[in-house]
A and B are shown apart, each in its own frame.
Chain A
Amino acid sequence: MMELAIEAKRLVRRFGKHLAVDDVSFSVPRGAIYGFLGPNGAGKTTTIRMILGLIRPDSGEVRLFGVNVQERRGEGLRQVGALIEAPALYNHLTGLENLEVAQRLIGGERKAAWKTLESVGLEREGERLVSTYSVGMRQRLGIALALLGNPALLILDEPFEGLDPAGIHALRELLADLSRNRGTTVFIATRLLSEVERLASNVGIMRRGTLLFDGRVDALKEQYDLVLGIRTDDPERAVDVLKRGGDEAFVGADGRLLLSISDAADAGRVNSRLVSEGISVVGLSVDQPSLEEIYLAMTGAVLENSRRWNE
């Protein structure tokens, strides 16, 4: 049986009359990188706070490595490192002292703080007061705080926020390395869908307090049709030709003709039809819909073009 790092069962949480999280269940396999997605106000942060025992669910339960967090909070959180929204740092302390605050709380050797600082590329800034740090440096220090003590589970809420492209790349590499080589489970809530697509093996998608999907990324993509992209010398006429043949196509923002197909073999059929009508096909590609396109479609934040191939 697959070992689970996080198991959320039927979580419900209200704030007054507002139902923030409604019957949410999901599971994160040990060692997986799990992308937790959803628009603002979807209930992601409330769910994360319930996972971390910061707020109690009205009903339901969270288990971390099999331990019920509501019943045995300390034991459940022993293997967890977290970054929740913006990192909370003590501005009057240095970067190293900020790590020391957390290090003393969890116990362990002081040199571990230095190593953690090195892992996020802040070793040269460790003796500087945090009040002089840039936004990106603060974010890296927040990640270092989460990494302290080599947790088996990392829970990161918007970890890419404030990082420059090099910082995003470095963090992506670090998380992938932790998952691959140390077996660390990484749970990321982020708006950067491209990063989730590159990193995550599993995703959960929330909207208005409910979970729309929980499972592997490839399983999610398999639920959607393939997208055929065609470059022609006359896209408008090509749309008419395909329409007469029963294929619904439209011209994308990049000038390509786009239509959904259920099988890659359909590409040959469409190509033959266009050529037989005297339309030159310059290029042809078959793509899976991106996670971003699926996310937009699922959460209702759909651009008209995205919706058309989804229907």
Chain B
Amino acid sequence: MTAVIQALGSEAVKLRRTAFLPVAIIFPSLVGTIQVLLLLTQPQRIGFLGYGRFAYYMRQSALSTWALLLLGMFITIEVVLLAGVDHEGEHWKYLFARATPRWAIYTAKLLLGIGAVALASIVLAVVLYLTSHFLAGSRPVPTGYPPILWTDLAQGILRIFLASWSLIALQTWLSLRLANPIIPASVGLIGTAAGMLLPLDPGRLWVRFDPWLMPFFARDNELVPLALGIGGGLLLAALGCMDVTRKDVL
């Protein structure tokens, strides 16, 4: 455990002056911005929704935008950045020539990836809560329409966060294993794009096994994608750890 904490401290220093933190704030903020733009530019939507449906619509729309469109890209960017810091300049031989266990370094990178999504989730919750209050009090929304309940919002975001572990673990493994960032970045973008097309038929069970779609399906009360996201994440983390530990550093 001490080794992981030490490795986390070391990784934190490496991330100074990088885009790691700004990206974790910008991406979830985009969801709020998109919601504001959607509702302000298309006020007819609100009239169509009617009283009581505004909060539900905004929650579903915002969380879908996050889970389906931005989360996959966000994880890809953050994890490629985390790995790229060490791929660039061939740092692995120095990191792995130290007494610190390789698995501790891998785990620290993985925890930072999870931490980035956790931070982004908190930012998302705050941004959406404030945005819904702002919109509920602004002109296109009729007076008296209630904003999103924070408990409802927090539950949805927490489920998305937990269901994203598989995706974080998969992208971390790819990014740490492959020195060329093009490959994990392409996988991330293609996975996101494919995920946006696949849920058009959500009746099929197999789409819940797609790591890019697990957060989307888990945002409500579906247990299968939630369990798959967490379980798959732990399994992929263990496999990645074993793989990196055995790999020769040339």
Contact = CB atoms under 8 A, between A and B. Distances in A.
B250 A55 contact: yes
A237 interface: no
A92 B248 contact: no
Interface string A80-105: 10101000111111000100111011
A88 B98 contact: no
A78 B85 CA distance: 24
Nearest to A86: B90
B6 interface: yes
Interface stretch (A46-54, A202-210, A218-226): A46-54
A101 B13 contact: yes
Contacts of B89: 88-91
Contacts of A255: none
B138 to A, nearest CB: 42
B249 to A, nearest CB: 4
Contacts of B14: 90, 93, 101
A66 interface: no
Interface string A162-195: 0000000000000000000000000000000000
B18 interface: yes
Interface residues of A, number: 30
Contact of A52 (B2, B90, B97): B97
Nearest to B249: A54
B155 to A, nearest CB: 36
Contacts of B197: none
B183 to A, nearest CB: 22
B61 to A, nearest CB: 38
B10 A92 contact: no
Contacts of A80: 97, 99
Nearest to B17: A92
Interface in A112-135: none
Contacts of B100: 74, 105-106
B96 A54 contact: yes
Contacts of A97: 13, 16
A105 to B, nearest CB: 4
Among the interface residues A56, A84, A104, A107, which one has the most CB atoms of the partner chain B within 10 A? A104
A49 B93 contact: yes
Contact of B99 (A74, A84, A90, A93): A74
A107 B94 contact: no
A287 B244 CA distance: 53
Contacts of B7: 105
A54 B250 CA distance: 7
What does DSSP make chain B's interface, helix, strand, loop or mixed?
A: loop
Given A101-B10, A105-B6, A77 B17 contact: no
A102 B13 CA distance: 10
Contact of B94 (A53, A74, A145): A145
A93 B16 contact: yes
Contact of A77 (B10, B91, B97): B97
A308 B216 CA distance: 79
A93 B89 CA distance: 13
B97 to A, nearest CB: 4
Given A56-B248, A89-B89, A104 B97 contact: no
Interface string B80-102: 00000100011101111111110
Contact of A92 (B18, B93, B250): B18
A75 interface: yes
A93 B2 CA distance: 25
A53 B96 contact: yes
B9 interface: yes
B6 A82 contact: no
A106 B99 contact: yes
Contacts of B96: 53-54
A54 B93 contact: yes
Nearest to A54: B249
Interface string B1-15: 010001101100110
A84 B93 contact: yes
A89 B89 CA distance: 7
Contacts of B2: 107
Nearest to B2: A107
A100 B248 CA distance: 26
B98 A84 contact: no
A157 to B, nearest CB: 10
User: Lowest 4 A-B CB distances belong to which pairs?
Assistant: A104-B9, A104-B10, A54-B249, A55-B248
25 contacts: A54-B93, A54-B250, A73-B101, A74-B100, A74-B101, A82-B94, A84-B97, A88-B89, A88-B90, A90-B14, A90-B85, A90-B91, A92-B16, A93-B14, A97-B13, A101-B13, A102-B10, A102-B94, A102-B98, A104-B10, A105-B98, A105-B100, A106-B6, A107-B2, A107-B6
Given A93-B16, A102-B10, A104-B10, 14 more contacts: A49-B93, A49-B250, A54-B249, A74-B101, A77-B98, A77-B99, A82-B94, A84-B97, A90-B14, A97-B16, A101-B10, A104-B6, A106-B6, A145-B94
